[in-house]
Amino acid sequence: MAKPSILFEPFQIKSMKLKNRIGLAPMLNMPGVWTSFSITDETIAWFEARARGGAGLIMTGSFVPLMVALPGWKERFAKLAEVMHSHGARLGVQLAMGGPMTGTGPSLPPYPNELDAKQAIMDLLEMGSGLLAPAEPHALSVEEIKAHVKAFADAAAILKEAGVDCVELHCAHGGATLCCSFISPFYNRRDDQYGGSWENRLRFPTDTLKRMREAVGEDYPLLVRISADELLGDKGITIDDTTRYIVPALEKAGADCIDVSQGSIVHSPEGIEIPLYYPRGCFIHLAEAVKKVTRLPVIGVGRIVDLEMAEDFLQEGKADLIYMGRQLTADPETPKKYLEGRPEDVRKCVACVEGCGTPCSINYEMAPNAIPLTPAQTPRRVLVIGGGVAGMEAARVAAQRGHRVTLIEKRSELGGMVAALALEPLTAEFGNLIKYLTVQLEKLGVEVMLSRDAGLAEVDELNPDVVITATGSSMMIPEVAKGKPGVMDHIEALKRRKEIGHRVVVWGLAYGAELAISLAAEGREVVLIGEGSEKTLGGHASNFRRWWVLRKLADINPARGTPEAQRLTNPKVLSNVRVKEITSEGIALTDEGGHPQVLPYDVLIISRGRKPNNALPAQLQERGTEVHEIGDCASIGDIQKAISRANEVARVI
Ligand SMILES: Cc1cc2nc3c(=O)[nH]c(=O)nc-3n(C[C@H](O)[C@H](O)[C@H](O)COP(=O)(O)O)c2cc1C
- Residue 49 has, within 13 A of its CA and on its CB side, a CA count of 17
Could you tell me the sign of the dihedral formed by the alpha carbons of 283, 288, 289, 294, in that order?
positive
pLDDT band of 567, cuts 50, 70, 90: low
Q: What's the DSSP call for residue 598?
A: E
- Ligand 1 atom nearest to 170, measured from its CA: 11
Ligand 1 atom with the shortest distance to the CA of 301: 23
Measured from the CA of 356, which atom of ligand 1 is nearest? 1
The per-residue pLDDT for 496 is 96
Residue nearest to atom 20 of ligand 1 (CA): 272
pLDDT value of position 106: 47
Question: What is the rounded end-to-end Cα distance, in angstroms, of the chain?
Answer: 38
State in Å: Cα 273 to ligand 1 middle.
7
Q: For the ranges 18-27, 191-200, 383-392, 562-571, which has the lowest average pLDDT? A: 562-571
**Are the C-beta atoms of residues 69 and 156 closer than 8 Å to each other?**
no
561, pLDDT greater than 70: no
Please report the pLDDT score of residue 124 as a whole number: 46
Return d(Cα 323, Cα 177) in angstroms, integer: 20
Q: Which of 24, 28, 224 to mutate to test the pocket of ligand 1 (most atoms within 8 A of CB)?
A: 28
Angle between helical axes of 639-650 and 389-400 (0-180°, round to 10): 30
Residue nearest to atom 25 of ligand 1 (CA): 303
Q: Are 153 and 209 in contact (CB under 8 A)?
A: no
Q: Give me the amino acid identity at 147.
A: A
Q: Are 241 and 230 in contact (CB under 8 A)?
A: no
436: pLDDT strictly greater than 90: yes
How far away, in angstroms, is 571 Cα from ligand 1 center?
A: 32
Q: Is the pLDDT of residue 648 over 50?
A: yes
**Listed residue (143, 129, 227) closest to 177, CA to CA:** 227
Q: What local confidence, expressed as pLDDT, does residue 125 receive? A: 52
So what's the pLDDT on residue 448?
A: 98
- Residues 6+ away with beta carbon under 8 Å from 118: 556, 557
The predicted structure's pLDDT at residue 175: 86
Burial environment of residue 593 by CB neighbours within 10 A (0 to 12, 13 to 18, 19 or more): exposed
Is it the case that residue 503 has pLDDT exceeding 60? yes
Of 536, 534, 492, residue with least CA distance to 511 = 536
84-137 confidence digits (pLDDT tens): 999 999 999 999 998 877 654 445 554 554 444 444 444 445 544 333 444 556
Q: Residue with the nearest Cα to atom 21 of ligand 1? A: 325
| pLDDT at 217 (0 to 100) | 98
Average pLDDT over residues 523-535: 92
The predicted pLDDT at position 128 comes to 41
Neighbouring residues of 138: CB distance < 8 A, sequence distance ≥ 6: none
d(CA 570, CA 527): 7
pLDDT band at 583 (very low <50, low <70, confident <90, very high): very high
Q: How far is CA 342 from the centre of its chain?
A: 24
Q: Is the pLDDT of residue 562 over 90?
A: no
Residue 558 has pLDDT above 70, yes or no: no
Nearest CA to 206 out of 194, 218, 196 is that of: 194
The DSSP H or E segment spanning 487 is strand 487-489
Specify whether the CB–CB gap between 651 and 401 falls below 8 A: yes
Interatomic CA distance for residues 277 and 17, integer angstroms:
36
CA distance 108 to 85: 41
pLDDT more than 90, % of the chain: 79
- CB-side neighbour CA atoms (13 Å) of 183: 32
- For residue 263, the CA-to-ligand 1 centroid distance in Å is 11
Task: Of 102, 15, 29, 21, give the one whose Cα is nearest residue 60.
Answer: 29
What atom in ligand 1 is closest to the CA of residue 59? 17
What is the pLDDT confidence band of residue 337, given thresholds at 50, 70 and 90? Answer: very high
Lowest mean pLDDT among 188-192, 391-395, 469-473: 188-192
How far, in Å, from the CA of 236 to the mean position of ligand 1? 20
What was the pLDDT predicted at 66? 93
Residue 596 bridge partners (DSSP)? 590
Ligand 1 atom, smallest distance to 353 CA: 31
- pLDDT tens digits, residue range 275-308? 999 999 999 999 999 999 999 999 999 999 999 9
Q: Is 590 exposed, middle or buried (0-12, 13-18, 19+ CB in 10 A)?
A: middle
Residue 548's pLDDT band, with cuts at 50, 70 and 90, is confident
Question: Mean pLDDT lowest for which of 12-16, 242-246, 319-323, 351-355?
Answer: 351-355
Least confident of 79-88, 183-192, 468-477: 183-192
Spatial strand order of the sheet with 578-583 comes to 578-583, 586-590, 596-599
User: DSSP letter at 46?
Assistant: H
Report strand pairing: 578-583 vs 586-590: antiparallel
In whole angstroms, what is the distance from residue 155 CA to residue 318 CA? 32
How far apart CA 544 and CA 128 sit, in angstroms, is 13
pTM, rounded to two decimals: 0.94
Q: What is the pLDDT of residue 553?
A: 81
Residue 170 in contact with residue 26, Cβ under 8 Å?
yes
Q: How confident is the model at residue 557 (pLDDT cuts 50, 70, 90)?
A: very low
Give 25 Cα–ligand 1 centroid separation in angstroms.
Answer: 6
Q: What is the pLDDT of residue 265?
A: 81
- Diameter of the chain measured on Cα atoms: 82
> Residues 6 or more apart from 107 whose CB is under 8 A from it?
101, 117, 120, 122, 123, 175, 266, 267
Q: What is the CB < 6 Å shell around ligand 1?
A: 25-29, 61-62, 94, 170, 172, 225, 261, 272-274, 301-304, 324-327, 356-357
Locate the ligand 1 atom nearest the alpha carbon of residue 25 and give its number. 17
Residues 38-64 pLDDT 10s:
999 999 999 999 999 999 999 999 999
pLDDT of residue 154: 98
Mean pLDDT of the chain: 91
Choose the residue to mutate in 22, 24, 27 for probing ligand 1, maximizing ligand atoms within 8 Å of C-beta. 27
CA of 28 to the centre of ligand 1 (A): 7
Question: Quick one: average pLDDT of 444-450?
Answer: 98
**Three-class DSSP category at 384:** strand
Report which protein residue has its CA nearest ligand 1's atom 3: 27
Measured in angstroms, how far is the CA atom of residue 616 from the centroid of ligand 1? 43
For residue 62, which atom of ligand 1 is closest to its CA? 8
pLDDT in the model for residue 4:
62
Mean pLDDT of all residues in 261-268: 85
Q: Is the model more confident about 115 or about 22?
A: 22
**Cα 189 to Cα 203: distance, rounded to the nearest angstrom:** 14
Q: Would you call 87 helix, strand, or coil by DSSP?
A: coil
What DSSP character marks residue 477?
P
Which class for 612: exposed (0-12), middle (13-18), buried (19 or more C-beta within 10 A)?
Answer: middle
Please check whether residue 39 is in contact with residue 60, taking contact to mean a CB–CB distance below 8 angstroms. no
- The pLDDT value given to residue 537: 87
Among 133-147, 391-405, 482-496, 500-514, whose mean pLDDT is lowest? 133-147
Closest CA to 41 of 76, 6, 87, 85: 76
* Surface-to-core class of residue 218, CB atoms within 10 Å of its CB (0-12 exposed, 13-18 middle, 19+ buried): exposed
